[in-house]
Structure 1
Amino acid sequence: MSKPQVLILTHAPWERPGRILDALETCGLEYTITSILKKPKADLPDFKDLAGLVLMGGPMGALDYDEYPGLKTESKLAKAAIVAGKPVLGVCLGHQIMATALGGKLRPGKAPEIGFGTVQRLENSHEFLPMWGKKATVLHWHNDCVTLPAGATPLAKSDLTKVQAFRFGSALGMQFHLEVTPALFDAWLSEKEMVKDLKKSDVARLREEYPEKDALIKPFASAVFEGFAARCSTHAKTLEEAKPKEKKIVIS
């Protein structure tokens, strides 16, 4: 029988899990990283063995099913995992996939939100998103946004985006990025798809700002991802305990 594992679904080579992996590895969790964008019938780990699900970011729209049929599979998988009480984490595009799977609406944002900024904590913020002050520094990089699914709890907002984070049962969706390490950030700024709407001066400014801003983001990221990893670890133990025990055959 397979061991419980966390499934990480990516949507672009440069949108890697970064700090999320650090937290999973610290908890000793096994994980699989794959992309199913072009695969309407994807070969995925057995659902019953999933200790958690992570949906990463990407440049496409959450409802671009015709071009990326795997997105529909991800939507169904996200909803099934949430209904089953499995820990789920959605980042940017992943947040939008989660929201639309649960009945939220996908809409263009008021304006692109790119670069370092803040999100504001809402009064009903939860331990899934532990913010120590009224605001937290994050990295924004998106155009689309979502409405809050019915039954979800809003956790954070910004001036341009009403739903920056939400919780629905076992799931946490974040429109912003906490996972980006120095190496990942450098890869982003070197990727044409990521900087196509930015001036060279904007890229230079972001590169200059990163060390100071990341020093603020890193402890926030650690708290969020360590919490997610802990929930996955707890679920993995539950799955292991639920497996039928092999009977020992005694030959007398």
Structure 2
Amino acid sequence: MKSVVAIRHVAFEDLGIFEPILEECGYRVRYLDPGLLGPDALEALDVDSPELMVVLGAPIGANDDALYPFLSAELDAIRHRLEAGRPLLGICLGAQLIARAMGGRVFPMPEKEIGFADVSLTREGQVGALRHLGNPDVVLHWHGDMFETPPGATRLAYSHACSHQAFAVGEQVLGLQFHLEVDPARIEPWLIGHAAELDAAGIDPVALREQAARYGPGLRIRGQQVLREWLAAAEAAHDIA
């Protein structure tokens, strides 16, 4: 059976709607929680063996390794995976860490981008897995920092507030600033877990809940289509059966 290791930083920021697709495609999912297990768990991680590695989001910054020392070990694991050329997916913080590991900058935005809003595709983004999204399409954004597309990667998407929303390296690496993985039917833990951030940013959780109900069903379908196509291409490129 194929395996995927998902580095998860907070319990509710999991694989969401991606998990059933991974299971459907024959993957056994294993979560690794460095916040609970510490840097040693990342240093002991066999980065090469899993057919897929996913680095998920978190309400901390990609440059915060002085505050959260496990991030240094996480960056080392990402660098090793990149050097191995094995399939790697990063979402929000995960994409920022991949960008940083590749030599790209991660820096604060003038204001946070939180909520269901448009993302647009570049010409390159329209011919890959992200083509299943509309252009533009409404997705869930939840970040205050942004990455720049790192050297050697291709920029795939952008929004009005954030000019770098997705990038790819060949078929094996995909970085997404926005949250295609979130199950809109399970938005409540996000509203609870990020209550202080929402309040500080003046964002109404009632409005987010209503947006999740409105956009969720269609976004779930499109997000899962994106993952299926990207996964198939990554597997074909690396002869993963």
Tell whether the structures are fold-level matches, with TM greater than 0.5.
yes
Match of 1:61 in 2: 61
Partner SS, residue 187 of structure 1: helix
Q: Deviations over 1:57-112 (max 9, x none)?
A: 10111121122222122222222222322111111111101111101101111211
Partner SS, residue 14 of structure 1: coil
Q: Is the 8 A contact 1:19 1:222 kept in 2?
A: yes
| Structure of greater relative contact order (alpha carbons < 8 Å, 6+ residues apart) | 1
Question: Which segment drifts farther, 138-147 or 74-83?
Answer: 74-83
Q: Is the 8 A contact 2:185 2:213 kept in 1?
A: no
Match of 2:81 in 1: 81
Q: Is the 8 A contact 2:52 2:88 kept in 1?
A: yes
The yes-or-no answer on 1:34 pairing with 2:32 is yes
Q: CA-atom RMSD, angstroms?
A: 2.2
Q: Is the 8 A contact 1:95 1:175 kept in 2?
A: yes
Match of 2:198 in 1: 195
Deviation of the 1:47 alpha carbon: 2.7
Q: Relative to structure 1, is the Cα distance of residues 113 and 176 closer, same or farther in structure 2, using a 3 angstrom cutoff?
A: same
Q: Relative to structure 1, is the Cα distance of residues 117 and 230 closer, same or farther in structure 2, using a 3 angstrom cutoff?
A: same
Match of 1:179 in 2: 181
Trace 1:1-252 onto structure 2 (pairs within 5 A): 4-37=2-35, 39-42=38-41, 44-125=44-125, 126-131=127-132, 133-169=134-170, 170-191=172-193, 192-199=195-202, 202-231=204-233, 238=240
Q: Distance in 2 between matches of 1:31 and 1:232?
A: 17
Question: Which segment drifts farther, 110-119 or 11-20?
Answer: 11-20
Partner SS, residue 50 of structure 1: coil
Match of 1:250 in 2: none
Q: Distance in 1 between matches of 2:237 and 2:7?
A: 19
Q: Is the 8 A contact 2:86 2:238 kept in 1?
A: no
Deviation of the 1:8 alpha carbon: 0.1
Structure with greater proportional helix content: 2
Q: Relative to structure 1, is the Cα distance of residues 236 and 32 closer, same or farther in structure 2, using a 3 angstrom cutoff?
A: farther
Partner SS, residue 161 of structure 2: coil
Deviation of the 1:215 alpha carbon: 2.7
Q: Distance in 1 between matches of 2:239 and 2:153?
A: 27
Q: Deviations over 1:45-65 (max 9, x none)?
A: 423311011011101111211
Q: Is the 8 A contact 1:157 1:165 kept in 2?
A: yes
- Which AA in structure 1 matches 2:157? A
Q: Distance in 2 between matches of 1:55 and 1:229?
A: 15
Q: Deviations over 1:108-140 (max 9, x none)?
A: 112110101011110111423224542111001
Q: Is the 8 A contact 1:4 1:236 kept in 2?
A: no
Q: Distance in 2 between matches of 1:89 and 1:153?
A: 14
Q: Aligned pair count?
A: 236
Question: Which segment drifts farther, 3-12 or 55-64?
Answer: 3-12
Structure 1 spans left out of the alignment, 5+ residues = 241-252
Match of 1:245 in 2: none
Partner SS, residue 18 of structure 2: helix
Q: Distance in 1 between matches of 2:144 and 2:61?
A: 9
Match of 1:249 in 2: none
Q: Distance in 2 between matches of 1:161 and 1:86?
A: 28
Q: Is the 8 A contact 1:11 1:35 kept in 2?
A: yes
Q: Is the 8 A contact 2:132 2:226 kept in 1?
A: no
